[in-house]
Amino acid sequence: MRDEEKDQQVRPGWLRLALGALSGALAGFTALAVAELVAAAVRPQSSPVIAVGGASIDATPAAVKDWAIRHFGTDDKLVLQLGILTVLTVLALVLGVLAVRFRRAGAAGVLLFGAVGAAAAVGRPDSIGLADVLPSVVGAFAGALLLYVLTGRLTTVRRPPASRHEEVPEEAGAGLPASAGWDRRGFVLMAASAAAASAVVGGAGRSLNASRGQDAVASRDEVVLPRPGSPAEPVPARAALRVPGISPFTTPNSSFYRVDTALVVPKVDATTWRLRVHGQGVLRAATYSFDDLLRRELVERDITLTCVSNEVGGPYAGNARWIGVRLADLLAECGVKPPSRGGPADQLVARSVDGMTIGSPVEDVMDGRDALLALGMNGEPLPFAHGFPVRMVVPGLYGFVSACKWIEDMELTTFDAYDPYWVKRGWARRAPIKTASRIDTPKPFARPDAGTVMVAGVAWAQHRGIDKVEVRVDDGPWQQAHLATEDTRDTWRQWSFPWRATPGSHTLTVRATDRTGTVQTDRRTRTIPDGASGWHSVVVTVD
């Protein structure tokens, strides 16, 4: 055993253990800061926290993910990253304490975390290969080295060789000057400079990461959406009711719900973007550039998008005016035929730049509905968070089986041959949107005054259309609500019901009937596997 290690046989006092923990935290911080900077050079998605986060999203059981979306909404990703950082902090503190006695093991522990991060990064579906290990590996080496050196200061005994044989009681040594046990000054100096350096490195990494994608931003700024050859009819004036608290008929981009697995929003440069079409029954495989799409006849349509994770009464539905190219035409150009006309492929698998796969029935996409490769949303190029430069939108299908954002590849295949991302995780292969209705106002537990209270909301049954909405007060009869003018059968429809409210507690319930005559079922189901069903009700107390 080496002398240095013999000195460590003295049981470290609480102060040194605490400083060990601090060393661990500093090493962890340094590792992440360095990783952040390296990730800025490689790509933001290769940073260990993002990679491990992405891997945990993919590995999370559907039920838990659904729970997270429900409880944290669009903040689910922030919560996940904070969770990872919390776990890492605890582990770093533990490693630091360990390293006071076992320096090499501590450093090796940091390297092990680097290996986990590196493995997660290369394992991501959008990995660009070995370069993705760099942030984790370089960061871990920096962290391991720092931990080794720092804990070295905690164990170095600075005494003249003669006094080596006298055992200095550890408890005394901890509080005494460096000569009595360990290099206190050296430790403080080194810890402080490491903290400062990491802050600078981490800050630089952050701002470099933020400035990445400038080309993509510039390419989006340059997009001028041409006038659509097939414009949408203006939204009928009476499609939007003037009821305070009702969802606006057209959802502004800034408040449009966002559901995806991307911890870093992909920033795709439209000038280099390409879309490939290939697979079974594709007679002429093709690749399209953004300009190719812009030059085609553009169609403009109002389509309401809905997420399968939307609970009864939930917020994950939004209505926008999309501009894009008709997907069916493009597929037909490539020689694709729907199954009903003898085509061999019944599933269209869209793949995004971040490796998401989304499968839609070829039959639905080509049955004459306005299935789009959308380039514009509410009068502007798609926002990055909503899929710039191009995404799919298919009226009548939940987003997870139709609305691929940041799309770059379309493969014609069969449902038998391939399960896309969500299907692998327990969701349905086919998922038409269920007829639904929602009370927007009054809010749950509102306390309106007795008298006439406007009950209002939206109802949707995309591609079938809404025919009727009814409201029930407590256990009373169903009463027909007033329906706003229909925009199209692919959009939601507002409704209102003037309620003569009497004092006391009341339950308001809503149900819709679609244009096929089907009444929204009261049977409550979970969102998994193909969307929640049941009636939305709201309890209010009238004063």
279 is a contact residue toward Mo ion (CB under 5 A): no
- Closest approach, Cβ 28 to ligand MTE, in A, equals 30
Element (H, E) at 473: strand 466-473
| Strand-by-strand arrangement of the 357-361 sheet | 286-289, 274-279, 407-413, 347-352, 357-361
- Binding segment for ligand MTE (CB under 6 A), chosen from 246-254, 335-343, 348-356, 456-464, is 348-356
Q: Which residue is nearest to ligand MTE (CB)?
A: 399
- Binding segment for ligand MTE (CB under 6 A), chosen from 153-161, 349-357, 458-466, 467-475, is 349-357
Q: Which is nearer to ligand MTE, 65 or 369 (CB)?
A: 65
261 is a contact residue toward ligand MTE (CB under 6 A): yes
Partner that binds at residue 275, options ligand MTE, Mo ion, none, CB closer than 5 to 8 Å by kind = none
- Binding segment for ligand MTE (CB under 6 A), chosen from 152-160, 258-266, 457-465, 507-515, is 258-266
Sign of the C-alpha dihedral computed for residues 435, 441, 447 and 450 taken in this order = negative
Q: Which of 140, 259, 325, 374 binds Mo ion (CB under 5 A)?
A: 259
Q: Which is nearer to Mo ion, 358 or 471 (CB)?
A: 358
304 is a contact residue toward ligand MTE (CB under 6 A): no
469 is a contact residue toward Mo ion (CB under 5 A): no
430 is a contact residue toward ligand MTE (CB under 6 A): no
Rounded CA separation 418/401 (Å): 13
399 is a contact residue toward Mo ion (CB under 5 A): yes
Contact yes or no for 109/95 (Cβ under 8 A)? yes
460 is a contact residue toward ligand MTE (CB under 6 A): no
Q: What is the x/- site pattern for ligand MTE, positions 305-324, by CB under 6 A? A: x-x-----------------
Q: Which of 29, 406, 492, 497 binds ligand MTE (CB under 6 A)?
A: 406
Q: The tokens of 457 are what?
A: 């909301």
307 is a contact residue toward Mo ion (CB under 5 A): yes
68 is a contact residue toward ligand MTE (CB under 6 A): no
Residue with tokens 């952040």: 36
Sign of the C-alpha dihedral computed for residues 21, 23, 28 and 32 taken in this order = positive
User: What's the N-to-C CA distance of the chain in angstroms?
Assistant: 81
Q: The tokens of 503 are what?
A: 């004092």
427 is a contact residue toward ligand MTE (CB under 6 A): no
Q: Smallest Cα–Cα separation from 101: which of 3, 190, 189, 16? A: 16
458 is a contact residue toward Mo ion (CB under 5 A): no
Rounded CA separation 198/267 (Å): 27
**Strand 372-377 with 380-381, pairing:** antiparallel
- Closest approach, Cβ 386 to ligand MTE, in A, equals 4
Rounded CA separation 350/276 (Å): 10
393 is a contact residue toward Mo ion (CB under 5 A): no
Q: Smallest Cα–Cα separation from 138: which of 54, 41, 53? A: 41
Q: Which residue is nearest to Mo ion (CB)?
A: 307
Rounded CA separation 287/267 (Å): 20
Partner that binds at residue 404, options Mo ion, ligand MTE, none, CB closer than 5 to 8 Å by kind = ligand MTE
Contact yes or no for 135/120 (Cβ under 8 A)? no
Partner that binds at residue 354, options Mo ion, ligand MTE, none, CB closer than 5 to 8 Å by kind = ligand MTE
Element (H, E) at 123: helix 103-123
- Closest approach, Cβ 51 to ligand MTE, in A, equals 16
User: What beta strand segments (E) does 264-346 contain?
Assistant: 274-279, 286-289, 299-306, 317-326
174 is a contact residue toward Mo ion (CB under 5 A): no
330 is a contact residue toward Mo ion (CB under 5 A): no
34 is a contact residue toward ligand MTE (CB under 6 A): no
- Binding segment for Mo ion (CB under 5 A), chosen from 69-77, 85-93, 301-309, 414-422, is 301-309
Q: Which of 70, 159, 212, 258 binds ligand MTE (CB under 6 A)?
A: 258
Rounded CA separation 463/491 (Å): 8
- Closest approach, Cβ 82 to Mo ion, in A, equals 23
392 is a contact residue toward Mo ion (CB under 5 A): no
3-state secondary structure (DSSP) of residue 341:
helix
Concatenate the DSSP letters of all residues of 217-285 into one string.
HHHHHH--PPPPSBPPPPPPGGGS---TTSPPSSPPGGGS----S-SS-----TTT-EEEEEETT-SS-
386 is a contact residue toward ligand MTE (CB under 6 A): yes
- Closest approach, Cβ 416 to ligand MTE, in A, equals 23
Q: Under the rule (CB under 5 A), what is the footprint of Mo ion?
A: 259, 307, 399-400
User: Where do contacts with ligand MTE occur on this chain (CB under 6 A)?
Assistant: 256-261, 305, 307, 352, 354, 356, 386, 399-400, 403-406
